[in-house]
Chains A and B, each alone.
Chain A
Amino acid sequence: MALANARAILPSVTIHPAAPTADGKMLARLAQWCGRYSPWTSTGKENDPELSLEGAGGAGIWLDVTGCAHLFGGEEAMLADMANRIEKLGFTARAAMADTLGGAWAVARFAPNDTWQVIPPGETRAALAPLATAALRLPPATVLALHEVGLRYIGDLLDMPRGPLAARFEKDVRLRLDAALGKAAEPLSPILPKTPLIARLAFAEPIGHRDDIAAATGKLLENLCATLEQAGQGARRLVLSIYRPDGSTAQITIGTARPSREPSHLLHLFSEHLDEIDPEFGIDEISLIAAVANPMAIDQTNFQRGAAAQNVDSYNAVIDRLTNRLGSRNIRQTHFRESHIPERAAGFIPVGKTKPIQSEQGCAATPRPLRLLRPPEQVEAVAESTDGPPVLFRWRRVLHHITRCEGPERIAPEWWRSDNGNTRDYYRVENETGQRFWLYRSGETSWFVHGLFG
């Protein structure tokens, strides 16, 4: 029904936009909640990727309760309890239990009577017979095609020869029918609970010695790395928390440049900081959490793994060690930008921020100094004329007479930036003892030393 029609009939109708993603999430949470009945629960998404939440059957939750029913006092009691509890959670639910997934799915949605129903073993066939063909989880087009040839109920299909059925309606119909009757296998893949990336160790007697703490950390790392490997993850940030008997805690955090689950490497990173822990009267529990973890493929070692790959590994390892002691801001790589302003054009950025950009500026045609003063230092200078080259200048209280001079190289400020200054006239100058400087004039009379040449 169109929304306009609905409003015409009942103007006070409440409207909520559809939220399939949120619905899907809710369904997944509900499936997890159903884990109280059986560990083998699924939203059926893996089995029927084409089935959407909207449409005929809608989504549901599948449980494989083989061997679980007796814990709840039998199958009927279990299903009644399930329907009851889900209703209390605020959902309207229909439930069915049958020999096969397909059978249960069909009965739960298409059986005319109760909200819950148990089909006793071996009676699936009889229970399916009076249901509409749509109960076989078929696409609407196939259902329509079946209707056109007068096959309205599953019972009409049950005794038909499989060969012509498959030839006429593709193999969907045959597959679904066989699966519902238990003649074909239909496995159910359960939702796997997320493994928490945590390892903890409690001690009978509080420990306080540094070596003990290091040993415990090593053990925790081994456990956590095994968990990480199973989850296909690598740690980017690890938090080690210690708990003292008086309830106080302390934490150490380490980070890595890229996902890692190498216990020895991570222990090395921690060992720098273990001295910061003050055990006071002892530590009775240590926990280690992978606060940030990224997917990490299992690394296959082979004989052809060249020295280059090993070099990358050892480079990452040493960068991690340096970073954890000196801070990530102090480990830098070269970085070029598309700019003519020298201090913007080339510099250093923390390793791992972005890929270093190679630009033409890296090999500028005009000479650039080897050392750059940041910021430039103002000097007293005397020039031949107001716009001529400098003759002498005083930098750091030393007077330099210029014997050779090249320039000017005029660099205009970037008008699109707000912090632009004056146009600069750069001169490459050499004093009488051979030292070379990069001087520039900003405005009329202000002179600056900006760099030293090799």
Chain B
Amino acid sequence: MEDLRARIRALERPSWTGEEKLFSLGIPEIDRQLPAGGFLPAALYEVLADRPVDAGAATGFCITLLAALADYRKGRVLWCLNNNATDAGEIYPAGLTQHGLDPSCLTIVKTTRDTDVLWAMEEALRSNAFIAVLGELRAIAMTASRRLQLAAEENDALTVLLRPATETPGLSAAVQRWRIKAAPSHPRGFVATLNEPGNTCWDTTLFRSRGGTPGTWLLEWCDETDHLALAPPVCDRPVEPHNTGLTG
């Protein structure tokens, strides 16, 4: 049985040898469900917003992913964006520190076309100057995503695609595809009259995981400890969605 699993693993891309240093969001429940036992640092990830208003949540998830990588690997991050792809404003450096990313390592490339974003991302990956490259674009073709995935593997850099909400996400060669939705937070403190927003909550769906199983998790960003955690079940929130257990 183990032999069979290894053979299937060898057929499937990405081929991980078990020697790569994996990184983690700090949530064992997610890591357990990933085929390599953690996030591969040299692979293509795709993050989609569930609805246009969820652009902030999707951005936050990307930043958390980059910050988790930057925790164990120092280096620069390139953020390529197509100005026309999103109408949710531009990234704001002062907000990055709150999600654990040092804004000074960030370089921004602004373009007005998806093709320029893809060109800049590939150029950056091939240069080996960045530990992570993020592209904010509207749509990506299968071939283009395949090129990015190969470039990410060859040059050992995390590659993230941040896409706005779309009904049809299309095909993609990404190792993982996430759909991010904001979730109501539960109030901080003990006084019910304090009606302040609590810790940021995201309803995250891993709807495509190469070699692994999809899943849904309700995550919470703890401001006090600066890390991500599974949101604790609270009586006043809707029943926590269970992992669907589908095979990918």
A406: Cβ under 8 A from any B Cβ: yes
Chain B residues lying within 8 Å of A454, measured Cβ to Cβ, are: 56-57, 59-61, 63, 95, 98-99, 200, 221
B109: Cβ under 8 A from any A Cβ: yes
Tell me, rounded to whole Å, the shortest Cβ–Cβ distance linking B56 to chain A. 3
A281: Cβ under 8 A from any B Cβ: no
Task: Give A393-412 as 1s and 0s: 1 = Cβ < 8 Å from B's Cβ atoms.
Answer: 00010100001111000000
* Chain B CB within 10 A, most for which of A396, A406, A454: A454
Contact A368 B92 (CB under 8 A): yes
Q: Of residues 198 to 239 in A, which have CB atoms within 8 Å of B's CB atoms?
A: none
Contact A430 B184 (CB under 8 A): yes
B185: Cβ under 8 A from any A Cβ: yes
Tell me, rounded to whole Å, the shortest Cβ–Cβ distance linking B84 to chain A. 13
A372: Cβ under 8 A from any B Cβ: yes
- With A326-B116, A371-B56, A454-B99 known as contacts, the answer to whether A346 contacts B94 (CB < 8 A) is yes
Contact B55 A405 (CB under 8 A): no
Contact B200 A453 (CB under 8 A): yes
- For A406, the closest partner residue in chain B by CB is B196
Q: Which of A314, A326, A336, A398 contacts B94 (CB 8 A)?
A: A336
Q: Which of B52, B55, B104, B184 contacts A356 (CB 8 A)?
A: B104
Chain A residues lying within 8 Å of B109, measured Cβ to Cβ, are: 322, 326, 330-332
Tell me, rounded to whole Å, the shortest Cβ–Cβ distance linking B90 to chain A. 6
- For B53, the closest partner residue in chain A by CB is A435
Chain B residues lying within 8 Å of A317, measured Cβ to Cβ, are: 127, 129
Contact A434 B98 (CB under 8 A): no
A342: Cβ under 8 A from any B Cβ: yes
Contact B129 A314 (CB under 8 A): yes
Contact A326 B111 (CB under 8 A): yes
Tell me, rounded to whole Å, the shortest Cβ–Cβ distance linking A330 to chain B. 4
Partner-contacting stretch, out of B25-33, B118-126, B167-175: B118-126
Q: Which of B57, B63, B98 contacts A367 (CB 8 A)?
A: B98
Task: Give B80-114 as 1s and 0s: 1 = Cβ < 8 Å from A's Cβ atoms.
Answer: 00000000111111111111000110111111000
Tell me, rounded to whole Å, the shortest Cβ–Cβ distance linking A411 to chain B. 13
Contact A318 B104 (CB under 8 A): no
Contact A371 B197 (CB under 8 A): no
Partner-contacting stretch, out of A68-76, A104-112, A357-365, A418-426: A357-365
Task: Give complex CA distance A396, B89 in Å.
Answer: 13
- For A372, the closest partner residue in chain B by CB is B92
Tell me, rounded to whole Å, the shortest Cβ–Cβ distance linking A378 to chain B. 14
Task: Give complex CA distance A359, B200 in Å.
Answer: 26
B160: Cβ under 8 A from any A Cβ: no
Q: Give the number of chain A interface residues (Cβ < 8 Å).
A: 55
Task: Give complex CA distance A317, B99 in Å.
Answer: 30
Chain A residues lying within 8 Å of B200, measured Cβ to Cβ, are: 436, 453-454
Contact A374 B89 (CB under 8 A): yes
Q: Of residues 367 to 392 in A, which have CB atoms within 8 Å of B's CB atoms?
A: 367-374
Contact A370 B196 (CB under 8 A): no
Tell me, rounded to whole Å, the shortest Cβ–Cβ distance linking B126 to chain A. 8
Contact A434 B184 (CB under 8 A): yes
B34: Cβ under 8 A from any A Cβ: no
A321: Cβ under 8 A from any B Cβ: yes
Task: Give complex CA distance A370, B86 in Å.
Answer: 14
Q: Give the number of chain B interface residues (Cβ < 8 Å).
A: 56
Chain A residues lying within 8 Å of B94, measured Cβ to Cβ, are: 336, 342, 345-346, 361-362, 364, 368
Contact B55 A452 (CB under 8 A): yes
Task: Give A292-317 as 1s and 0s: 1 = Cβ < 8 Å from B's Cβ atoms.
Answer: 00000000000000000001001101
Tell me, rounded to whole Å, the shortest Cβ–Cβ distance linking A342 to chain B. 7
Chain A residues lying within 8 Å of B92, measured Cβ to Cβ, are: 342, 346, 368-372, 451
Tell me, rounded to whole Å, the shortest Cβ–Cβ distance linking B45 to chain A. 17
B195: Cβ under 8 A from any A Cβ: yes
Contact B110 A332 (CB under 8 A): yes
* Chain B CB within 10 A, most for which of A321, A342, A348, A451: A348
- With A326-B116, A351-B107, A406-B197 known as contacts, the answer to whether A374 contacts B59 (CB < 8 A) is no
A264: Cβ under 8 A from any B Cβ: no
* Chain A CB within 10 A, most for which of B54, B106, B108: B108
Contact A429 B127 (CB under 8 A): no
Task: Give complex CA distance A396, B55 in Å.
Answer: 14
Contact B98 A362 (CB under 8 A): no
Tell me, rounded to whole Å, the shortest Cβ–Cβ distance linking B232 to chain A. 16
Chain A residues lying within 8 Å of B247, measured Cβ to Cβ, are: none
- With A318-B123, A370-B60 known as contacts, the answer to whether A330 contacts B128 (CB < 8 A) is no
Contact B197 A429 (CB under 8 A): yes
Task: Give A334-364 as 1s and 0s: 1 = Cβ < 8 Å from B's Cβ atoms.
Answer: 1110000010011110010000101001111
Task: Give A108-149 as 1s and 0s: 1 = Cβ < 8 Å from B's Cβ atoms.
Answer: 000000000000000000000000000000000000000000
* Chain A CB within 10 A, most for which of B56, B57, B104: B56
Task: Give B168-198 as 1s and 0s: 1 = Cβ < 8 Å from A's Cβ atoms.
Answer: 0000000000000111110100000001111
- For B120, the closest partner residue in chain A by CB is A322
A261: Cβ under 8 A from any B Cβ: no
A29: Cβ under 8 A from any B Cβ: no
- With A322-B120, A430-B185 known as contacts, the answer to whether A371 contacts B104 (CB < 8 A) is no
- With A326-B111, A358-B104, A371-B56 known as contacts, the answer to whether A321 contacts B123 (CB < 8 A) is yes
- List 28 A-B pairs, Cβ < 8 Å: A311-B75, A311-B129, A314-B127, A315-B127, A315-B129, A322-B109, A326-B111, A330-B111, A332-B107, A336-B94, A362-B94, A368-B92, A368-B95, A369-B92, A370-B56, A370-B63, A370-B96, A371-B55, A371-B56, A371-B88, A398-B53, A404-B196, A430-B184, A432-B184, A434-B183, A435-B53, A453-B60, A454-B99
